[in-house]
Amino acid sequence: MTSYADLGGAPKIVSYNLQMTTDSGDIIENWIWSDILGGASQPANLLAVYTLTSSIVGGVSYKFRVRASNEIGNGPYSNIITIKAAQIPA
């Protein structure tokens, strides 16, 4: 197993993976996540800012999580944040 010492210090981040879901319920492991940045099916990405502007539905709650990858592998996912899309007032 490779250690930080073997790499000359903490390895630098080579990619971020941002995921989104609209699933809910008590068992997070059953939620289906979609890669919207990075991930196995997309090229490596180091964007620090990402704007999602398509396919957003007013009144729907979207959940997001992110993780970093380095030469050793993937880090753990971040805490999940939830954002509810605004609706146009009636």
Amino acid code (one letter) for 48:
A
Residue 90 domain flag: no
Number of domains within the chain: 1
- The pLDDT of residue 6 is 66
Residue 70 domain flag: yes
- The pLDDT of residue 73 is 86
- The pLDDT of residue 46 is 73
Residue 16 domain flag: yes
Residue 55 domain flag: yes
């790499």: which residue's tokens?
7
Residue 89 domain flag: no
pTM given for the model: 0.77
Residue 27 domain flag: yes
- The pLDDT of residue 56 is 87
90 residues of the chain, pLDDT tens digit each = 566 666 677 778 888 889 999 999 889 889 999 888 887 666 667 776 777 777 889 999 999 999 988 888 889 999 999 999 998 887
Q: What is the CATH number of the domain that holds 28?
A: 2.60.40.10
Residue 29 domain flag: yes
Domain of 27 in residue numbering reads as 5-84
- The pLDDT of residue 77 is 94
Q: Which residues contact 36 (CB under 8 A, 6 or more apart)?
A: 18, 19, 20, 50, 52
